[in-house]
A and B are shown apart, each in its own frame.
Chain A
Amino acid sequence: MEPASVLSVRGLTTVFKTDLGVVRAVDKLDLEIPARATLGIVGESGCGKSTVGLSIMKLIPSPPGRISGGEIYFENRDLLRLNNRAMRRIRGRRISMIFQEPMTSLNPVRRVGETIIEVISLHYGLPRKEARRKAIEALESIRIPEPEIRINDYPHEMSGGMRQRIMIALAICCKPELVIADEPTTALDVTIQAQILSLLDQIQKETGTAIVLITHDLGVIAENADQVAVMYAGQLVEYADTFSLFQEPLHPYTQGLMLSVPRPGGGGKKKHRLNVIPGSVPNLLRIAPGCRFAQRCPEAVEKCYQKEPALIPQSGGRTVRCWRYA
């Protein structure tokens, strides 16, 4: 049974103009973001996962980027057709985003409370005292001790973990339907990462907000996502629920990726050579016909070099972009 989707991406294409030509960072992407659950988007650098998040928020820097095609349906409206004013009402209020680097995402010359109060005032139109009260509530909900004092701190007075919590508070203070977290813990220490991910999990349980978790870390995906979308070279190559994906990865890229990660208890480098996916990511300026992974795929056959596979549905709501499963 398919869960209801909070947001549907259809045929999204985002391009960037560079010195050497036009790069299609996201190429005709179809994605359903399930409500009240966590969707993990995993992939390596340049696969387009961050671009997807920025595209949904319509925050693509333009120039050099541009959303050149597709639709993004949220609450029966196509976000890509909305004007700036309408989009601003959605950002931060219905859909919000958490970025990787909390230090540069917070205004260093403003107290953190000011930033939160501003967002609340903007979207709720509340008088300042009310907004301040709500801001303190938001800080409490992310388990910041002594929120009435912390609200007056400047970003540089806080640790990385605290700042990321502030970012989360900013993201959820208006109780959005969807939170997009773009590598929210990559810049943090492992023990702090555990705190933050546990916090996101708790928030989801309490408010029912849908979360899109964008990361390159398979471990984070395994432990925090309900559904997983694997991206490669601007395309979605596999989609499944977490258990199934890790139990039985279908796409050769997913398989290769999982085998290249050192496993605990794996025996160490002397007994176990890490699997290597030969070659490198294809040049997005010159996309060859056929499957984008064919050059590096151990299972490629002739068809793979000629015709690009579509996303082929499998059992259990899974899809995979590979001719082996046609």
Chain B
Amino acid sequence: MPDMERALVRCNDLKMYYPLKGGVFSRVLNHVRAVDGVDLSIYKGETLGLVGESGCGKSSLGRVILNLESPSAGEVFFRDIRLSEASRQQQIELRRQMQIVFQDPYSSLNPRKTVETIIGEPFLIHNLGTRQEKLRKVRLVMDQVGLPQNFINRYPHEFSGGQRQRVGIARALMLEPAFIVCDEPVSALDVSVQAQVLNLLADLQDEYDLTYLFVSHDLSVVEHFSDRVAVMYLGRLVELAPRELIYGKPLHPYTQALLSACPIPIPRRDRHRIILQGDVPSPINPPRGCHFSTRCPQVMPVCREEVPAMKEAVQGHFVRCFLYSADKSESAGKAA
């Protein structure tokens, strides 16, 4: 793992298990293992992309990192402050430092509040100044995200998806955070609007030295927008590398399948497709051993028995797969 000291945000063996209640007395029957042991570091100023399909746990991971939910196990550190032990004062301060932009512009804004209220609320909640100062800052932030000033008294339902997303971004900026989790911020938008919002996010990052965790299922967008990319499958990270390495030479079979499945706007009928069989297993009962073993085209006997560890295969390129484990022959011998 890279030098853990300089990271802005750090996760240690993070687990998020949601209990499933059932039966007459609402007993806990089982758990949804949304996040199943994640180690991650995010460095100041970078954009870390997090890709995965539905049910992989990427949204849960984002929320746990932001302290919107408490992890079932493991720790999150923000600037070396352990979130689980933060005092109330620290927690309030941390709220200001870490913000989130949501996916669905149609439900992430309260339909009964005006733009001014929505954007200005964080300012009021944290008592950052007078009403005039708030108004001034709201107008300023609206300019920065490209919202016309006369929108200030309107309601969300009067706007398009792209404009609503800008309102959400403006709201996140009010507290001048250092770190923003972008949870599928452009997935619900049209292609041409996506481009606008992505350019905006990039500009804001330059101007305010922001650090992003960019969560998305859209591989081309993540490739465009991120510096490093982490691939998640059923609650675990399976690959982590700088952008060019992941897209140029993906190592993990899942990443390879994902990339080959991703449609590219270049007509080529001869494209080599790795079509995975079957469906994604349920996070309630993940497979033993490597979570991907049930669908992996290159599965080996050891994969079904043991969980591979995250190893640095090439400089800066980490992968969790027995294909790249130095000791795989040893385990294969044991399993045989």
Contacts and interface: CB of A to CB of B under 8 A. Distances in A.
A217 interface: yes
Given A198-B275, A223-B267, 8 more contacts: A159-B280, A189-B54, A189-B217, A191-B53, A219-B264, A220-B263, A269-B224, A274-B198
A189 B248 CA distance: 22
Interface of B: 47, 53-54, 160-162, 190-196, 198-199, 202, 217, 219-221, 223-227, 243, 247-248, 257-258, 260-269, 271, 273, 275-276, 279-280
Interface residues of A, number: 48
A195 B275 contact: yes
B191 A223 contact: no
Contacts of B196: 276
A260 B267 contact: no
A177 B280 CA distance: 33
B223 A268 contact: yes
Nearest to A270: B202
A216 B199 CA distance: 20
B267 A216 contact: no
Nearest to B279: A159
A74 interface: no
A268 B279 CA distance: 31
A260 B192 contact: yes
Interface in A241-272: 242-243, 246, 256-258, 260-266, 268-270, 272
A307 to B, nearest CB: 25
Contacts of A216: 190-191
Contacts of A300: none
Instruction: Give the interface centre of A161, A258, A263, A264 by most chain B CB atoms within 10 Å.
Output: A264
Contacts of B263: 193, 197, 217, 219-220, 222-224
A268 B258 contact: no
A194 B262 CA distance: 8
B54 A274 contact: no
23 contacts: A159-B280, A189-B217, A189-B280, A190-B219, A192-B279, A194-B261, A216-B190, A217-B263, A218-B265, A223-B269, A223-B271, A224-B263, A257-B192, A260-B192, A262-B221, A263-B224, A264-B223, A268-B226, A268-B243, A269-B198, A269-B224, A276-B199, A280-B193
A190 B53 contact: yes
Most buried by A among B195, B217, B267: B267
Interface of A is mostly: helix
Residue in A160, A243, A261 whose Cβ sees the most chain B Cβ within 10 Å = A261
Given A262-B223, A263-B220, A269-B198, A45 B264 contact: no
Interface-central residue, B260, B265, B268, by most chain A CB under 10 Å: B265
A257 B258 contact: no
Nearest to A243: B267
Contact of A242 (B262, B264, B267): B267
- The 8 A-B pairs with the shortest beta carbon distances in the complex, nearest first, are A219-B263, A262-B224, A194-B261, A260-B195, A189-B53, A274-B195, A218-B265, A44-B190
Contacts of B247: 264-265
Given A262-B220, A269-B225, A276-B199, A256 B192 contact: yes
A219 B192 contact: no
A188 to B, nearest CB: 9
Contacts of A197: 263
Contact of B191 (A162, A257, A265): A257
Contact of B266 (A193, A222, A270): A222
A53 B7 CA distance: 51
A263 B47 CA distance: 18
B97 to A, nearest CB: 23
A283 to B, nearest CB: 11
